[in-house]
């Protein structure tokens, strides 16, 4: 089924502008202190109405949020211990990560970036398999087709083109699949971003483009990338609806992304959701963030911490009691233990893998190099045996 924007407008009884353009303010349901916002701030503008997720969904999401924070902290420690080569932390962005995964059904695809490890884990991939790529293993760690999660993408924006291709194939085959294509604010400055959005809009594909605007493309602030009112406003230029949401408000993220995925599945075409959040830590462990931003700026965002906000909200409502909090903390620690055990174990490597997967049929030069390596390894083993 294909539903045009006009049909969506008629269904909701709103104007095209109300549907296509993002709300006047980022959708926020719970404020930084954990209090439920007044109705007019929750998303009640025409075309931007959102219902609160139910309590069970909120508690399950909070559990994944706490696990995500523990994963970020544990991985940062593993980098310092030399067990991972690099780690791009999503500390402070965990609400975006969790909501991105929970809004999808089993048949839906996720196309993540290098910073979206928590989202990949929340989608069901084993934590150690997720982190395999960051210890330097060549194969990426998990089977994308099993989990409907593409390999985490380091080149900016190339995954958006792949996501659109999968969505196009799904539509041609008549599959009931939605594709969530994730990127950061820096990616919106790339040509691939334009090509992906334009193709998705022209072919009316079931894609939700999810932009985590964490204010910096490595060291380049958003103000030096775009002067648009918001990144969500860019959507209308491609003929798709855009929405912006407080990226540290897990409640609002669940509501907005759930609706975006539902609309895409129902045939309304692609949508763009921009989440306003912040990268609390350096770009990676190799980055010195103090060279391009002030501590005072970071402090302002510390007060908007998504984990603290959600904890306060659930506690105030009587949903998060002491026993539940202890159980969630124990689950988070268990995941951290899995990461420690898995990444502290030495990986079994086969040196011949250097040659096995370059070409389907190895070239003469590769066969010669493989034979030289095999001979060298054999002589090395014989020398060690003779020395014992």
pLDDT score of 39: 65
- Our answer to whether residue 91 is catalytic in this structure is no
DSSP-derived secondary structure for 148-212: TBPPPB-STTHHHHHHHHHHHHHHHHT----EEEEEEGGGGGSHHHHHHHHHHHHTT--EEEEEE
109: helix, strand or coil:
strand
The residues pairing with 213 across neighbouring beta strands, listed in sequence order, are 276
pLDDT score of 113: 97
Residue 56 has pLDDT above 50, yes or no: yes
Please answer whether residues 5 and 268 qualify as being in contact, where contact means their C-beta atoms are separated by less than 8 angstroms.
yes
Cβ-Cβ contacts under 8 Å for 124 (sequence gap 6 or more)? 147
pLDDT score of 232: 96
pLDDT in tens, 137-153: 777 789 999 999 999 99
Residue 3 has pLDDT above 70, yes or no: no
- Our answer to whether residue 62 is catalytic in this structure is no
| Average of per-residue pLDDT values in the chain | 92
- The active-site residue out of 292, 337, 367, 379 is 292
How many C-beta atoms lie closer than 10 Å to residue 319's C-beta?
14
Residue closest to 97 by CA, chosen among 77, 70, 76: 70
Residue 41 has pLDDT above 80, yes or no: no
CA distances from 47 to 9, 54, 164, 233, 249 (A): 8, 21, 25, 15, 20
- Give the Cα separation of 67 and 85 in Å (integer): 22
pLDDT score of 13: 73
- The active-site residue out of 204, 283, 309, 313 is 283
Tokens of 169: 């194939």
Residue 48 has pLDDT above 70, yes or no: yes
DSSP alpha helices (H): ranges in the chain? 5-12, 16-20, 39-42, 55-80, 94-102, 117-122, 127-131, 144-147, 158-173, 191-202, 250-265, 295-302, 306-316, 322-344, 353-356, 364-387
Residue closest to 24 by CA, chosen among 51, 4, 5, 43: 43
- The active-site residue out of 64, 279, 309, 313 is 279
Q: How many Cα neighbours within 13 Å face the side chain of 288?
A: 2
Task: Please give the model's pTM, rounded to 2 decimal places.
Answer: 0.91
pLDDT score of 19: 82
- Give the Cα separation of 5 and 124 in Å (integer): 33
pLDDT in tens, 61-113: 999 999 999 999 999 999 999 999 899 999 999 999 999 999 999 999 999 99
Residue 42 has pLDDT above 70, yes or no: no
pLDDT score of 1: 42
pLDDT score of 379: 94
206 or 40, greater pLDDT: 206
pLDDT score of 40: 54
pLDDT score of 43: 63
- Give the Cα separation of 48 and 23 in Å (integer): 7
Residue 179 has pLDDT above 60, yes or no: yes
pLDDT score of 14: 73
Residue 340 has pLDDT above 90, yes or no: yes
pLDDT in tens, 263-310: 999 999 999 999 999 999 989 988 889 999 999 999 999 999 999 999
Average pLDDT over residues 34-45: 74
- Our answer to whether residue 244 is catalytic in this structure is no
- Give the Cα separation of 109 and 206 in Å (integer): 11
12 or 224, greater pLDDT: 224
């Amino acid at each position: 089924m294909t539903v045009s924007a006009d049909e969506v407008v008629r269904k909701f009884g709103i104007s095209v502008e109300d549907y296509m353009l993002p709300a006047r303010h980022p959708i926020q349901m719970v404020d930084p202190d954990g209090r439920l916002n007044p109705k007019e701030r929750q998303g009640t503008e025409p075309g931007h109405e959102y219902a609160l997720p139910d309590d069970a969904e909120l508690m399950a999401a909070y559990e994944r949020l706490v696990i995500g924070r523990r994963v970020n902290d544990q991985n940062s420690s593993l980098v310092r211990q030399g067990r991972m080569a690099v780690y791009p932390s999503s500390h402070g962005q965990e609400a975006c990560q969790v909501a991105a995964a929970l809004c999808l059904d089993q048949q839906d695809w996720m196309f993540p970036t290098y910073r979206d490890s928590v989202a990949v884990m929340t989608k069901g991939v084993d934590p150690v398999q997720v982190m395999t790529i960051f210890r330097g293993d060549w194969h990426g760690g998990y089977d994308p087709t099993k989990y409907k999660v593409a390999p985490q993408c380091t080149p900016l924006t190339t995954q958006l083109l792949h996501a659109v291709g999968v969505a196009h194939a799904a539509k041609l085959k008549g599959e009931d699949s939605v594709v969530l294509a994730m990127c950061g604010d820096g990616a919106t400055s790339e040509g691939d971003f334009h090509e992906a959005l334009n193709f998705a809009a022209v072919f009316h594909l079931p894609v939700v483009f999810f932009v985590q605007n964490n204010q910096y493309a490595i060291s380049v602030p958003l103000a030096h990338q775009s002067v648009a009112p918001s990144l969500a406003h860019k959507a209308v230029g491609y003929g798709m609806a855009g929405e912006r949401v407080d990226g540290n408000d897990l409640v609002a993220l669940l509501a907005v992304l759930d609706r975006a995925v539902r609309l895409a599945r129902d045939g309304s075409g692609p949508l763009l959701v921009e989440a306003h959040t912040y990268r609390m830590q350096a770009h990676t462990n190799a980055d010195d963030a103090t060279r391009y931003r002030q501590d005072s700026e970071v402090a302002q965002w510390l007060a908007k911490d998504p984990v603290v906000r959600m904890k306060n909200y659930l506690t105030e409502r009587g949903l998060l009691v002491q026993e539940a909090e202890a159980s969630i903390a124990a689950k988070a620690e268990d995941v951290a233990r899995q990461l420690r055990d898995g990444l502290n174990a030495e990986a079994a490597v086969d040196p011949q893998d250097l040659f096995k997967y370059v070409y389907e049929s190895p070239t003469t030069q590769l066969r010669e190099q493989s034979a030289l390596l095999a001979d060298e390894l054999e002589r090395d083993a014989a020398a060690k045996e003779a020395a014992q």
